[in-house]
Amino acid sequence: MKVIKTISEMRQWSRKTKMRRQKIGFVPTMGYLHEGHLSLIREAHKHADQIVVSIYVNPTQFGPNEDFDRYPRDFEHDEHLCRNEGVDIVFYPHDEEMYGPFHKTYIITENLADVLCGKSRPTHFRGVTTIVGKLFNIVQPDIAVFGQKDAQQAIIIKRMVEDLNFPVQIEIAPIIREADGLAMSSRNKYLSPRHRKEATVLYRSLQLAKKEYANGNNDLESIKEKMRKLIESESSGKIDYIEAVDAQTLGTPNPATGEILIALAVYFGTTRLIDNIILAKRLNDKKTREPKRKN
């Protein structure tokens, strides 16, 4: 495994790899890797010959009072994990390499970036799309893998790739959870023991939504209210949002025509956690009922 820190060397490696007709799989991360990240690397191995993992805490996706300075970093740990997972290249650039002193260009996905997490983090997805676009141009991957835990991010990246004609195949890997259901996240490190225990209510609330929907409850507002009551009754968490949206467009959902994304964000102390679940499209019984077989 090799660690590359400059754009020029990263591009040179990618160019030589493509000349050998090998596919490049790419997993962009902000480091402090855990089993969730490793699952993305394993997914990338299924689709590509050479695997690149970027480790870069991107300043442009943090707001003024967010946790950029204290975001957990442990490159030695990350390097060890990447080596064990058979990663070929770790791209580990510094801010001066990624953003010049006169940087003024950003990528914005209209309508998708100002809902859900975008309401309370208005500049977040501008930073995400910009850094991912830059990384795609630098690494030149054939395939890139993102996690379903960051569902809004995944939808936005897929939209950006299609709209801007990036020659990259996007794969979305499932959420990896702890044994008690909490979605794995680098920010879980911030949780106090009490808040760590309380945070499991997020998964239980999503399972409640799944059960309600499976039992025929089409009233998404009532489902959201039941989730809210569960979270408030079993934790000290402060709810940022609980929303039900179309799983492709992030717009108004229609159970008869598309999948529904139930997404939430909740603060436990000063730590903001997100999670989600997709409810399958509800088929029309009359249209989908299998015809009786003739004897």
Closest to 50 (Cα-Cα) out of 141, 122, 133: 141
Q: Are 233 and 240 in contact (CB under 8 A)?
A: no
Catalytic residues: 37
Q: Are 203 and 185 in contact (CB under 8 A)?
A: no
Contacts of range 248-256, beta carbons closer than 8 Å, 24 or more positions apart: 248/155, 249/112, 250/111, 250/112, 250/115, 250/116, 250/152, 250/155, 251/111, 253/220, 255/218, 255/279, 255/281, 255/282, 256/281, 256/282, 256/284
Going from the N-terminus, what domains does the chain have, and what CATH number goes with each? 2-173 (3.40.50.620), 186-279 (3.30.1300.10)
* Residue found under tokens 């996905």: 109
Residues 277 and 220: their CA atoms lie apart, in Å, by 13
Average pLDDT over residues 250-258: 86
Span of 133-147, 179-193, 249-263 with lowest mean pLDDT = 249-263
Residues whose CB falls within 8 Å of the CB of residue 238, separated by 6 or more in sequence, listed in order: 266, 267, 268
**pLDDT above 80: residue 77:** yes
For residue 90, what is the enclosing H or E element? strand 89-91
Q: How high is the mean pLDDT of the chain? A: 94
**pLDDT above 80: residue 289:** no
Residues 45 and 290: their CA atoms lie apart, in Å, by 39
pLDDT by residue (tens digit) across 7-58? 999 999 999 999 999 999 999 999 999 999 999 999 999 999 999 999 999 9
**pLDDT above 80: residue 290:** no
**pLDDT at residue 291, rounded to an integer:** 42
